[in-house]
Chain A
Amino acid sequence: MTVTTAVPNLAEAVETSVASNLHPVASFDLADHPVPNGREEVWRFTPLRRLRGLMDGAPSDARLGWHANLPAGVTRTEVSTADAIALGLPAPVDRPSALAVAESGGAVVYEIAPGSQLAEPMVVELSGNGLEQTVYGHLVFKIGAHAGATIVLRHTGSARFNSSVSVLVGEGAHLNFVGLQDWADDAVHLGHVGIRIGRDARVRTVTASLGGDLVRLVETSEYDGPGGVLEQFGLYFVNAGQHIEHRLFIDHNQPHTRSRVDYRGALQGEGAHSVWVGDVLIRKVAEGINTYETNKNLVLTDGCRADSVPNLEIETGEIEGAGHSSTTGRFDDEQLFYLRSRGIPEDEARRLVVHGFFADIIRRIGVPDVESRLLAAVDKELEILVGIPLEVAK
Chain B
Amino acid sequence: MSELRISDLHVDVLTESGPKEILKGVNLRVGSGEVHAIMGPNGSGKSTLAYSIAGHPKYVITSGSVTLDGVELTHLKVDARAKAGLFLAMQYPIEVPGVSVANFLRTAKTALSGEAPKVRTWVKEVNAALERIGLDGTFAARSVNEGFSGGEKKRNEIAQLELLNPKFAILDETDSGLDIDALRIVSEGVNRYMAQGDRGLLLITHYTRILNYIKPDFVHVFVDGHIVAEGGAELADRLEVDGYDRFVKAAKVDA
Which residues of A line the B interface, CB within 8 A? Answer: 333-335, 337-346, 348-349, 352-353, 355-360, 363, 391-393
Contacts and interface: CB of A to CB of B under 8 A. Distances in A.
Interface residues of B, number: 37
Interface string B50-64: 000011111000000
A343 B83 contact: yes
A263 to B, nearest CB: 15
Given A341-B82, A391-B116, A348 B143 contact: no
Contacts of A356: 96-99, 143
A interface, over-half SS: helix
A323 B157 CA distance: 34
A353 B95 CA distance: 10
Interface of B: 54-58, 77-79, 81-83, 87-88, 90, 93-100, 102-104, 106-108, 110-112, 116, 119, 143-144, 160, 164
B35 to A, nearest CB: 21
Contacts of B94: 334-335, 337-338
Contact of A353 (B78, B96, B116): B96
Nearest to B92: A334
A339 B82 CA distance: 10
Contact of A393 (B83, B87, B103): B103
B54 A341 contact: yes
**Nearest 8 Cβ contacts at the A-B interface:** A356-B98, A360-B98, A343-B82, A359-B98, A356-B99, A342-B108, A338-B94, A340-B78
A373 B144 CA distance: 23
B90 A338 contact: yes
Contacts of A355: 98-99
Contacts of B88: 341
Contact of A345 (B58, B111, B119, B144): B111
A71 B87 CA distance: 54
Contacts of B102: 393
B169 to A, nearest CB: 11
B143 A352 contact: no
Nearest to A349: B79
Contacts of A363: 98
B78 A352 contact: no
B77 A335 contact: no
Contacts of B93: 338
B104 A352 contact: yes
A294 B90 CA distance: 29
Q: Which of A339, A342, A353 has the most CB of B within 10 A?
A: A342
A349 B94 CA distance: 13
Nearest to A358: B98
B15 to A, nearest CB: 16
A335 B78 contact: no
B99 A393 contact: no
Contacts of A339: 96, 104, 107-108
